[in-house]
Chains A and B, each alone.
Chain A
Amino acid sequence: MINKDLSIDFLGVHFDNPFCLSSSPVGNCYEMCKKAYDTGWGGVVFKTIGPKHFEIDEVSPRFDTLDKEDTSFVGFKNMEQIAEHSLEENLADLKRLKTEYPNKVLIASIMGTNEQDWVDLAQLVEAAGADMIEMNLSCPQMTSHAMGSDVGANPELCKKYCAAVKRGSSLPMMAKMTPNITNMVPAAQASLAGGADGIATINTVKSVANLDLKRKVGLPVINGKSSISGYSGKAVKPIALRFIQELRAAKGLEHLPISGIGGIETWEDAAEFILLGSSTVQVTTAVMQYGYRIVEDMKNGLMHYMAEQGVDHLQDLVGLANHNMLPAEELDRSYKVYPKIDLDKCIGCGRCYISCFDGAHQAMEWDDDKRQPFCNQDKCVGCQLCALVCPVGAITYGKVEMKPGRQGVPAEKVI
């Protein structure tokens, strides 16, 4: 079995692999984190610890999933807040974990209601043995508006609380950002100005996942009512990647240390986050669905990817894709790529014909008798929707052609 070094340094802390549990129900106590470490996770962000005076009182039930066809958990809605155990229990768990797993990374997620809370919590988790602090500025389902994503949407508060944490502890610290804003850059910059060493993102996306059509209420139903709360899982991956790219594209943030979060289930998902600038990645939803064991394939798959890429240090992959993302106005619009149809592979379902007519430019023609598609290049704009809907991969990129009047060499285009 392949064995490659997956270790990476992030904010001065050495991780034996980049895979961490994110702050959530999956890292809620000693036993859970112990099992996660034993299964091979590189780090754990212990479920967010709040101040003693803030009481957690959860609803039941508290989750919901978005399904598509036969696939459950396309997206996941979660109403659980921060750790419900007492502050003393949480600190004792941190201490025990660090004692028993000195070489695994232990990150304490904290959340205060005011500056003093943040200072105090930072002190307490450092004393308990945490290697790093993550500031939860982003939970969208807190029962207090002085906490969670309402704070993360306010750059001034981000800066103030980051500074408070830095007063309480000298540990490396990342600020966890909410995606429930149009632009994450100001909040990230304010956090850095306040003393944050890096950014963790994204937290969950505010959502209503489903409604009960008979009772006319969102799900889950809590005594006849429901509430907007955080959405996660595979469906949010594109949103997470977008925010991470925007951060790394902002002036001055080109080398921003990032812990990437959002819908990671496979090594491929993780590799995407790494290529867009994440040094570590954090996972919850896939663990809730499948358990800690998923890290085995994420690690092994990432090792094979490194081998295929000829890379010996994971760090060498971080951010490699950032420069390949351009503003829309800077893309090369001088050519188009026609579809190439392999009729030996085609099974004659006609999906390309339907999608081209109903969703594109009526370029795909259909032979009723032979049950075969044919691309009319006079109408084809090269959108390749046909290739995306083909269930057997019979349509691939074919001839490249410059648009009329445009300069360029089709063969040189990287398609």
Chain B
Amino acid sequence: MKYMKEAEPSYTLSTVMEEAARCLLCHDAPCSKMCPAKTDPARFIRSVRFRNFKGAAETIRENNAMGAICARVCPTERYCELGCTRSGIDKPIDIGGIQRFVTDFEQQAQMDILHKGKPNGMKVAIVGSGPSGLQTAVTLLELGYAVDIYEKNAKAGGYLTYGIPEYRLPTDIVDFEIKRITNMGAEIKYNTTIGEDITMAQLKQNYQAVVLAIGSREAKSLPLFEGNPYMETAVSFLARAKMHHGQLELPDNVLVIGGGDVAMDVATTLKRLDVKHVTDVVYEEFNEFKASQKELLGTQAHGVTIIDGYVPTAADGKKVTFKHRHIDSQLVIEADKIILAVGQKANAAGLGLQLNHDEVPFTGYQAAPQVFVTGDIAQGDKTVVWSVKRGKEVATEIDQVLGGNQHD
């Protein structure tokens, strides 16, 4: 099934050398400066160029505990590759592709790069096991803290596990990244919801610090579709596709509403699950699209019909009426299933946290004594690489506050 197969082919030993040989090995390389997580592509590409694949894997892994995941899902065109000097000649180095080769090599070579620091006797609770929570755990473990991760779902990984489609990010890859972290000593407490199974007060009592590593995982809806039996949210659909390994009953005609990366994931997933007619109606016009260029092109290449500039005005069962935002035009689409990809929101119930547009209203990471935030509810880009950045930074901040091993 096309859904279960990783879409991008990986480099071989010879083709990765070809790509690494394109790298100009810049002085004070802009790519490395533009990686929010400081993964240091200039350094690991240079290692590949000089055939030090193990060293390349160390650079990636030590800087970014989500290295194999970022390699696959990072919108590199907005970060490292945007800075790539090679663009002055033709096109940027495929940094994500090289990173994927190196992290695949790391896994095949069974390298064990991350290690727990000398225990400092302090314990930190992390709420949420998405990329930010996982990175926070790794950095804290390296600094000598004991770490417990509280996850409300049955599996760890957050959006990595329940959101990003299999063909972009195989479950095996995510599971392996998480296994590295539990191997380091993090304990994950599954099916545990804060406020229901354990309270914030208890956490504060049992741990020196609590990190709220929360993303925006709850689907937003549109009032027009309340109670519509043909409607499913993107969050629900993507999670079902992933949990059922693509084995879903789907009609031949599906309408998707939304124009971000999530909508592109939904539309492409439908196509890779062999749905005949997939129509995506988007509020934005093409020149103001939210989805990354790469995702948009991929979706179009799969044969999804994308209609831009329309907003839904009425829904009657399977029949949805749209109006163009600028011109006098109306569109009626009848579909056997309607998937809404119109955004997500954070659920901070039981955490004692005030959010403003799904973000904390302050910069930095400390919300209250003993309480820190990271993940998408902290300020900044909502990408995995930013989650990694925030994970490293919140851990460093906690260590500064708690003192850690500084008196050794």
Contacts and interface: CB of A to CB of B under 8 A. Distances in A.
Asked if chains A and B come from one complex, the reply is yes
Interface of A: 69-71, 347-351, 353-354, 366, 368, 371, 391-392
A347 B89 contact: yes
A347 B20 contact: no
Interface residues of B, number: 17
Contacts of B390: none
Given A391-B89, A392-B88, A351 B25 contact: yes
B27 A354 contact: yes
Contacts of B27: 349-351, 353-354, 366
* Prevailing SS type, chain B contact patch: helix
Nearest to A350: B27
Nearest to B18: A70
Nearest to A390: B24
* Smallest CB-CB A-B distances: 10 pairs: A350-B27, A347-B88, A69-B21, A70-B18, A349-B24, A70-B17, A349-B26, A349-B85, A70-B21, A354-B27
B20 A69 contact: yes
B14 interface: yes
B88 A348 contact: yes
A347 B88 CA distance: 6
Contacts of A353: 27
19 contacts: A69-B18, A70-B14, A70-B15, A70-B18, A347-B85, A347-B86, A347-B88, A347-B89, A348-B26, A348-B85, A348-B88, A349-B24, A349-B85, A350-B27, A350-B28, A351-B26, A351-B27, A371-B28, A391-B24
Given A391-B89, A392-B88, A351 B24 contact: yes
Contacts of B14: 70
Q: Which among B18, B27, B28, B85 has the highest number of chain A CB atoms within 10 Å?
A: B27
A223 B203 CA distance: 65
A185 B257 CA distance: 83
Contacts of A354: 27
Nearest to B21: A69
Contact of A69 (B24, B26, B30, B49): B49
Nearest to A347: B88
Contacts of B15: 70
Contacts of B89: 347, 391-392
Interface string B13-57: 011011011001111101000000000000000000100000000
Nearest to A373: B27
A38 to B, nearest CB: 33
A103 B35 CA distance: 66
A401 B24 CA distance: 31
Given A70-B21, A350-B28, A366-B28, 16 more contacts: A69-B20, A70-B14, A70-B15, A70-B20, A71-B21, A347-B86, A347-B88, A348-B26, A348-B85, A348-B88, A349-B24, A349-B25, A351-B24, A351-B25, A354-B27, A392-B88
Nearest to A353: B27
A211 to B, nearest CB: 14
A16 B5 CA distance: 57
A118 B103 CA distance: 61
A393 to B, nearest CB: 11
A414 B70 CA distance: 54
A254 to B, nearest CB: 43
